[in-house]
Amino acid sequence: MIFDPVYFLFIAPAVILGIWAQIRIRSTYAVAQGLAAPLSGAAAARHVLDSAGLEGVQIEQIPGHLSDHYDPREKVLRLSSEVYRSRSLAAVGIAAHEAGHAIQDARAYAPLVIRNAAVPVARFGSGMAIWMVILGAFLSANNPALGFLVPLGILLFSGFVFFQLVNLPVEFNASSRAKTQLVELGIVSPQELVYVNKVLNAAALTYVAATLQAVLTLLYLILRFGGGDRE
């Protein structure tokens, strides 16, 4: 599979979309980072959390570029130094998006609950499933008893695809919550929201691209290895 040109043709649309998404993130983030906001990313996130009654959710500063995330296990929102300190539309948009995940967690938003439950299977499926399929396909030629690895690997990778699909509404909903809160709390104006929207939409494209690649990879595995003939 790794050296199969057919595989790369299968995932080409997702790769192209992913490249385009990265270009869009860089360009929209650069523009929004240059536009001032009344609060820093950390202060905006604190305001959004407190307005939702989540005073107990802590905010921490972490290293890395756009390494921002919400940890549902420790109930901590972690923001990269740039987002944490910056008073820009880009920073408050990203920080509010992550605060949106904390609100989802507090409200037991169903797709988030399902996504979190699927994390262990997704981690294993994304790392081991494809190798199980490949090894099963080759080893079963001499030892048919090992053929079970192929359908098992495909099943595990299906779990990863399921995780990616469920993750899409989680990310889109967090952005929707963020944009609503930013305007309602007066952190950004409706006119400024246009720039925040562009940043969050570009980030959402990366999730769409990742999901598309997972779906196309699963389709390839089924067509290439799912049948009885694996020569």
- ∠ CA 136-139-144, nearest 5°, is 85
Do the domain assignments include residue 170? yes
pLDDT in 10s for each residue of the chain, 231 residues? 556 788 889 999 999 999 999 999 999 999 999 999 999 999 999 999 999 999 999 999 999 988 999 999 999 999 999 999 999 999 999 999 999 999 999 999 999 999 999 988 888 888 788 888 888 888 877 778 788 888 999 999 999 999 999 999 999 999 999 999 999 999 999 999 999 999 999 999 999 999 999 999 999 999 988 765 444
Question: What confidence score (pLDDT) does residue 230 get?
Answer: 46
Give the DSSP H or E segment for 60: strand 58-62
**Sole residue written with tokens 């020569």:** 231
Residue 230 counted as domain residue: no
User: pLDDT value at position 23?
Assistant: 96
pLDDT at 125: 80
User: Token pair for residue 60?
Assistant: 């921490």
Angstrom distance (rounded) from CA 114 to CA 8 = 31
Position 231 scores a pLDDT of 46
The reply to whether 153 falls in a domain is yes
Q: Check if the beta carbon of residue 35 is closer than 8 Å to that of residue 93.
A: no
CB 217 within 8 A of CB 11: yes
Could you tell me if residue 231 is inside a domain?
A: no
Cα–Cα distance between 103 and 21 in angstroms, integer? 26
Are residues 224 and 90 in contact, defined by beta-carbon separation less than 8 angstroms?
no
* SS3 state of residue 191: helix
Structurally, the chain folds into a number of domains equal to 1
What is the pLDDT at residue 5?
86
User: Is residue 22 a part of any domain in this protein?
Assistant: yes
DSSP tally for the chain: helices H, then strands E:
7, 3
Catalytic residue among 98, 171, 184, 192: 98
**Has 184 been annotated as catalytic?**
no
Closest CA to 98 of 134, 152, 44: 44
Q: Report strand pairing: 69-71 vs 76-80.
A: antiparallel
Determine the structural domain holding residue 12 and report its residue range.
5-225
Q: Does 127 map to a domain? A: yes
